[in-house]
Structure 1
């Protein structure tokens, strides 16, 4: 079944960090479903919906490059902030010059993907406190609002490829004509190994405070440049 949304995204660099390599970051070979969802949410999102990534098409060859970036060796912790609030002697904040470190990162370069997605309705009211309508009608309204924003390049914030310094260019495709096709080097089958699918948040139903987070992974397999994303393994 054809996905109702096809969005072309491209950029000079991307960094989809593997969780097992946290200090000097190494990117996955391709965009993760959670990163693709983040791009869609940057363009259009409401609490009444959840974007579902159906599949991803890799258009450009997978190329890596190395860079070094100035980072810091630690972050301000909650206990330190609490001590300052109670009148302790600790300072709240970090002196960047004292904590600066250079770290390497293995990035993707010259990336281009097609994101095929659909919308899952959590609440059939378009606006909070509004009137409930049929789910298919609500989905149609949300999809139309997304398309209208994507056509004109609107976004709530600049979408990015893993890190804010790697911005995303996006283009909406509303029919199959003119769709880019995967590079010839991507033909055949390739096992990309285990990849982050998404993160499950356990929230307090009243306060919405996050009690815990659980990452979920899937075995990513690319066939002729196309990756089929399985259904989410948790209830949304």
Structure 2
């Protein structure tokens, strides 16, 4: 696929919080990552407002295991609350994703250099990402490395279909939709032999309005172009 990257992301723990469990301060993880969580990982590897990251597929490599922990959340107003968080344990996922240009951002047209962005993204992946990698929450540190999607064995290779119920797919932001509002997308994922294929955000039919919001403005004064960044990294500008 054009402008694609494939990588393995893994860590000791993950917490992809089911929003239904947040009401009382407790947190319970979904069994698998959301589209938005994986998108966030790709954007931690390499992100520019010029691009929209599209997550195509995820492959669940290890058995789904959960572990509960007693956590004392930070309470800035004082207090000593003990909450119960249920994490995923010993997780590893293969991811296939690609980027497209954000056509809702005419202010970033000067940065639409497909070749440069793809090269920088691949180098960033080999280096472990340009920002810290997390699996859902900051306390769940993770690591990324290039891989060939589908290579190796998965715990769920021969499990046919597993229905995951209703989950959050992701969030629509104004700069990606052209609408001045934030929306949340829902869907019903099915894992087939360990692989979940994601619909594109615009293909999700269950969309809920959250709040009104304006897109942040970017331009040459606060964004460095891929061409300039490539030159700083020593890439030949004529490639």
- The alpha-carbon deviation at position 130 of structure 1 amounts to 3.3
- Deviation of 1:43 after TM superposition, in Å, equals 1.2
1:201-226 CA-to-partner distances (Å, cap 9, x unmatched) read 246x9xx9x96422101110000000
For 2:2 and 2:50, locate their aligned partners in 1 and report how far apart those are by CA, in whole Å: 23
Deviation at residue 131 of structure 1 after TM alignment: 6.9
* Deviation (angstroms), 1:192: 0.4
- 1:151 equivalent in alignment to 2:153: no
Partner residue of 1:163 out of 125, 137, 160? 137
Q: How many residues matched?
A: 201
How far apart in 1 are the matches of 2:109 and 2:161? 48
Residues in 2 aligned to 1:53 and 1:232: alpha-carbon distance in whole angstroms: 9
Q: Which residue is 2:215 aligned to? A: none
- The counterpart of 2:172, out of the listed 176, 200, 219, is 200
SS in 2 for 1:193: coil
TM-score of the two chains, using structure 1 as the length reference: 0.75
Secondary structure of the 2:165 match is strand
> Structure 2: any 5+ residue segments left out of the alignment?
205-239
* Aligned-partner SS, 1:61: coil
Would you say the 8 A contact 1:187–1:223 is kept in 2?
A: yes
For the 8 Å contact 2:2–2:98, the answer to whether it is kept is no
Which structure 1 residue ranges, 4+ long, deviate > 4 Å from structure 2?
none
Answer yes or no: is 1:61 the counterpart of 2:63. Answer: yes
Judge conservation of contact 1:119–1:139 (CA < 8 Å) in 2: no
By relative contact order (CA 8 Å, sep 6+), the higher-ranking structure is 1
Give the drift of 1:10. Answer: 0.3
Give the alignment of 1:29-178 within 5 angstroms: 29-72=31-74, 94-95=76-77, 98-122=78-102, 128=108, 130=110, 138-155=113-130, 157-173=131-147, 175=148
- Whether 2:222 is the aligned partner of 1:220: answer no
Higher mean C-alpha displacement, 38-47 vs 185-194: 185-194
> For residue 10 of structure 1, what is the aligned residue in structure 2?
10
Aligned 8 A contact 1:8 1:113 in 2: yes
1:82 alignment partner in structure 2: none
Q: Separation in 2 of the partners of 1:17 and 1:131?
A: 35
> Any conservation in 1 of the 2:7–2:94 contact (CA below 8 Å)?
yes
Distance change (3 Å), C-alpha of 1:46 and 1:3: closer
Distance 1:3 1:201, change over 3 A: closer
User: Take 2:64 and 2:158, find their aligned partners in 1: how far apart are those partners?
Assistant: 8
Structure 1 CA distance for aligned equivalents of residues 174 and 108 of structure 2: 22
- Asked if the contact 1:25–1:106 (Cα under 8 Å) also holds between the matched residues in 2, the reply is yes
Tell me which structure has the larger Cα radius of gyration: 1
In structure 1, runs of 5+ residues without a counterpart are 74-93, 133-137
